[in-house]
Amino acid sequence: MTLRAAVLGWPIGHSRSPLIHGHWIKEHGLDASYEPIAVDPEGASAWFRAFKTHGLVGANVTIPHKELALEACDTAEDHARRLGAVNTIWLEGDRLCGTSTDGAGFMANLDQTAPNWRDHKAAETALVLGAGGAARAILDALLTAGVGHILIANRTEAKAQGLADWFAPAYPSAKITAVSLAETDNVAGQAGLVVNTTALGMEGQPPLTLDVGRLAPDTTVTDIVYTPLETPLLAAAKAAGHPVVDGLGMLLHQAVPGFERWFGVRPTVTEAVRRVALRDLGVLT
């Protein structure tokens, strides 16, 4: 029987997940499928609660359903409860289980692309720009990885402070400091790792203005925006000689745990799957 998985969102046409999972299904010769399903927000809660009736072994969940999918789960991993959202769900018998793989995807990409980032000051201090859903997952992952001091800067400062307050009890030995976006140039020199999680630098958005000249030598600079693949921030950091990590790898790595849960094979993030995504982004022909 064909094992069916899906990506669930509204709208869902933009998702690159079918391409990635389709590549791995073919690579491993599996009798499996992965399809985009648009789940209308009206009635979505009931749809998730009836998940076992839809003929799917599991799914990725994207905007705007990540929070209500968590509510529908019978069990969820601790960090997903901490984040208040899931992006990956699966059935164990009749029970719906969920997790969030964004943070693990971010870390796996960082470890694969800039394996020496931990040797620098990053183990001490990271600067995270943005305080949205992706920042929340990345913050949790960095704190779990043992980063001792995180500076969070966001346009809406109250959201940065909100994240700092939210994570403080879970990581009592870490220091989490909210700063304003205007202050980032002044604090940037403390960080061994810089992560842009804002939408700035994305096609159609203004660039992020961070003076990379203020960074300590060898500070790793990462951007989770991947359209364009080389954001103005990454281009400036690269020109200044910093190790840089683009956002496409996070997208690919966050897909790995779901595929393994649903289909029983752990896929590898290879150049081949990266090329599939790059072709879709129009970066390769």
Which residues form the catalytic set? 66
Using rule CB under 6 A, residue 224 touches ligand NAP: yes
Considering beta carbons, is residue 133 or 267 the nearer one to ligand NAP?
A: 133
Site for ligand NAP in 226-245 (CB under 6 A): 226
Q: Least Å distance between CB 94 and ligand NAP?
A: 31
State how beta strands 244-245 and 88-92 pair.
unpaired
Using rule CB under 6 A, residue 133 touches ligand NAP: yes
Nearest to 253 by CA among 233, 224, 230: 224
Site for ligand NAP in 3-62 (CB under 6 A): none
Q: Which stretch binds ligand NAP (CB under 6 A): 2-10, 23-31, 51-59, 199-207?
A: 199-207
Q: Least Å distance between CB 132 and ligand NAP?
A: 2
Measured at the CA of 165, the angle between CA 163 and CA 171, to 5 degrees, comes to: 95
Considering beta carbons, is residue 24 or 121 the nearer one to ligand NAP?
A: 24
H or E element that contains 5: strand 3-9
The 136-175 contact track toward ligand NAP, x by CB under 6 A, reads ------------------xxx--x----------------
Considering beta carbons, is residue 95 or 275 the nearer one to ligand NAP?
A: 275
- Cis preceding-peptide flag for 11 (omega within 30 of 0): yes
129/152 Cα distance (integer angstroms): 6
Using rule CB under 6 A, residue 112 touches ligand NAP: no
144/239 Cα distance (integer angstroms): 31
139/151 Cα distance (integer angstroms): 10
Out of 22, 36, 84, 132, the residue judged to bind ligand NAP by CB under 6 A: 132
Out of 202, 221, 256, 269, the residue judged to bind ligand NAP by CB under 6 A: 202
Using rule CB under 6 A, residue 200 touches ligand NAP: yes
Considering beta carbons, is residue 60 or 91 the nearer one to ligand NAP?
A: 60
Out of 234, 251, 255, 277, the residue judged to bind ligand NAP by CB under 6 A: 251
Q: What is the DSSP string of 143-169?
A: HHTT--EEEEEESSHHHHHHHHHHHTT
31: buried, middle or exposed (CB in 10 Å: 19+, 13-18, 0-12)? exposed
250/105 Cα distance (integer angstroms): 5
Give residues with Cβ within 8 angstroms of 32, minimum separation 6. Answer: 2, 3, 4, 5, 25, 262, 263
Nearest to 103 by CA among 87, 127, 89, 123: 87
Q: Which stretch binds ligand NAP (CB under 6 A): 3-11, 18-26, 43-51, 246-254?
A: 246-254
Considering beta carbons, is residue 102 or 140 the nearer one to ligand NAP?
A: 102
User: Which residue number is nearest to ligand NAP in terms of Cβ?
Assistant: 132
Both tokens assigned to 8: 């669930």
Residues near ligand NAP (CB under 6 A): 102, 130-135, 154-156, 159, 197-200, 202, 224-226, 247, 250-251, 254
